[in-house]
Structure 1
Amino acid sequence: MSTDLPMFPLGTVLFPGEVLPLQVFEPRYLAMVDHCLAQPDRLRFGVVLIARGHEVGGGDERTGVGTIARITSCRPGGGARLLIGCVGEQRIRVDEWLPDDPYPRAAVTEWPDEPSEVSAASARELTDRLAEFGGLHARWSALQGHPSWSVPVWDDLPGSDGDRGFALARSLPIGAIDRLRVLSAPGPCERVLVLCDALADVVAALRFRLADPGGAEEDA
C-alpha cells in the first residue's frame, strides 16, 4: 500500500541504519522539516539519490529507490539554517512523484528484503575481498600517515544477512552509484554479490595508487 511521504532528494544514498546529518536552508525543505516536526508521528521523510541535476533549486532527476529517514534531532544552525540529525529506517520504492508543492513529495511503498540466502561460497568470496582490501588499505594508510581500516568479519556483523550487507556497505568507501546498486539489490544474496563487485573496483583503485603513490597523491 502506497503512503504519501515528504521527500528529500540528495547527492548521496542513505542506507537503513545509517546516520545522516543535514544542513537545511532551502525554503521548501525548511517547510518540509516544519511539517515533519509538527506532530510526533510525522518525523519521517524519504531520501533518494539525485541521478542528474542539483539539490538546490529543483529541476533534478531522481532515482526510484530510497530509504525512510527519521529525524532524531533538530537545532538552529545560524541564520535560516537548521541542523538536523536523521537515521535511515526502511527501504522504499517510489510509486509516483507528486507535485513539489510546497516541497517534494511522493507516493512510496516500503520494500523489505526479498527472501534469499547468502551461500557459503558468496560469503567466502566477500571475506576474501574484504581481507584483500584491508591489506591494501593498510599499506596506503601507512604511506599517507592515516589510520588503517579495521576489516570487519562477515560472521561477526550483527543481525540478519540483509542487515549485515547494509552494515558493511555503510563502512566501505564506495561511490554513490555502487551505494545505489547495494540499496537496490532485491535481497541479501544479491547484495553480497554487488558488494563483491564494488570491492573489486576499490581494490583495483588502491593497487593503482600503490603502484604510483606520488601521482595518485597529486591527482587527489
Structure 2
Amino acid sequence: MPDQPLTLNSLPLFPLGTVLFPGGELPLRVFEVRYLDLIDKCHRADAPFGVVNLQQGNEVQVAGAPHEQLDAIGTLAHITTLERPQAGLFIVQCKGSQRFRIERQERLKHGLWVADVTLLPDDSAVPIPDDLKHTAEALRKVRTSLRERGAISADSGTDGPGTYQDCGWVANRWCELLPLKNELKQRLMALDNPLLRLELVADILTRTGM
C-alpha cells in the first residue's frame, strides 16, 4: 500500500511578495506583532513555518486594505539564525525545505494566516542531460562571481558534491537569480518535474541572451 502524503495542521503562514524555492535562502526583517510572535514560537520550538506568495494584498497590514490572497503552493521555511538588534525587531535568516499544498486556510483575528497543508514530494534526483549542462556551468560561474563580490554568502545554497549535476537544484538556483515575475516563479516552483523546470529555465536563458 503506498505511503499516504504527510499533512500538517494549523501551519502558520508568512505571506510574502516573493517565491521561496526548496534549498533557497530567505532573509527577513520582522517587526509586525503577528509575525514577531510567529517567529519567536517557531524559533523556540525549532519548527518550520510556511512561506506563500501573495497574489493580492500587502506584506504589511494596512487598515482598510483588501485581505491577502495566497497562492495554493508554498514552501516550508526553517529558521537558521535569529538576531534581536532592538525591541520589536527580529533579523532572521531562513532556509526553504519541502513544498506544500494548502488544503484549508484561515485568517485569525489578529491577522495571522494558518493552514492545513499536504506536504509535496521532494524533487527526484534527475541528472542533467548533456544538452542542458551549459546551464549548470553558467550557474557555477555566476555564483562564484557573486561570492567573490560578497553578494551571496560563502555557503549560500549549499554547493555540495553533485549539486551542479542535479536538475532540480540548478533550476531552483537560476529561478532565484533571474529577474522573473513572481507569477512565473510560482509556476516553475510548483512543477513536479525537475527536468521540465530546468528545460524552461534554459529557454528563458536563451531568450534573454544569458
TM-score, normalising length from structure 1? 0.69
**Relative contact order, higher structure (CA 8 A, sep 6+):** 2
- Cα contact 1:48–1:62 (8 A) shared by 2: yes
Quick check: 18-27 or 56-65, which moved more?
56-65
CA distance in 2, matches of 1:97, 1:126: 40
Residue 113 of structure 1 deviates from its aligned partner by: 4.3
Which of 55, 65, 76 matches 1:68?
76
- Which of the pair is proportionally richer in helix? 1
Matched, 1:124 2:131: yes
- Aligned partner of residue 38 in structure 1, secondary structure: helix
CA distance in 2, matches of 1:93, 1:192: 22
Residues 1:158 and 1:28: Cα distance change in structure 2 (over 3 Å): same
- Cα contact 2:16–2:51 (8 A) shared by 1: yes
Q: Which protein shows a greater Rg? A: 1
Matched, 1:8 2:17: no
**CA offset digits 1:146-168 (Å, max 9, x no partner):** 9xxxxxxxxx7446432332233
CA distance in 1, matches of 2:78, 2:207: 32
Which of 22, 29, 53 matches 1:23?
29
- Aligned partner of residue 77 in structure 1, secondary structure: strand
Residue 3 of structure 1 deviates from its aligned partner by: 0.5
Q: How does 1:187-198 map to 2 (within 5 A)?
A: 187-198=193-204
- Cα contact 1:68–1:92 (8 A) shared by 2: yes
Which of 45, 48, 51 matches 2:52?
48
**CA offset digits 1:95-151 (Å, max 9, x no partner):** 11123344211111111246696784xx525737986xx9xxxxxxxxxxx9xxxxx
Please name the residue that 2:155 is paired with.
none
CA distance in 1, matches of 2:78, 2:136: 33
Residues 1:39 and 1:176: Cα distance change in structure 2 (over 3 Å): same
Unpaired runs of 5+ in structure 2? 1-5, 142-148, 150-161
Please name the residue that 2:118 is paired with.
109
Aligned length: 182
- Cα contact 1:118–1:188 (8 A) shared by 2: no
Which of 185, 191, 194 matches 1:179?
185
**CA offset digits 1:175-201 (Å, max 9, x no partner):** 322321220111112212321343245
- Aligned partner of residue 86 in structure 2, secondary structure: coil
- Cα contact 1:46–1:68 (8 A) shared by 2: yes
- Cα contact 1:178–1:198 (8 A) shared by 2: no
Please name the residue that 2:145 is paired with.
none
CA RMSD across the alignment: 3.2
- Cα contact 1:129–1:196 (8 A) shared by 2: no
Give, as a single letter, the amino acid of the residue that structure 2 aligns with 1:65.
Answer: I
Percentage of matched positions with identical amino acids:
30
Matched, 1:84 2:88: no
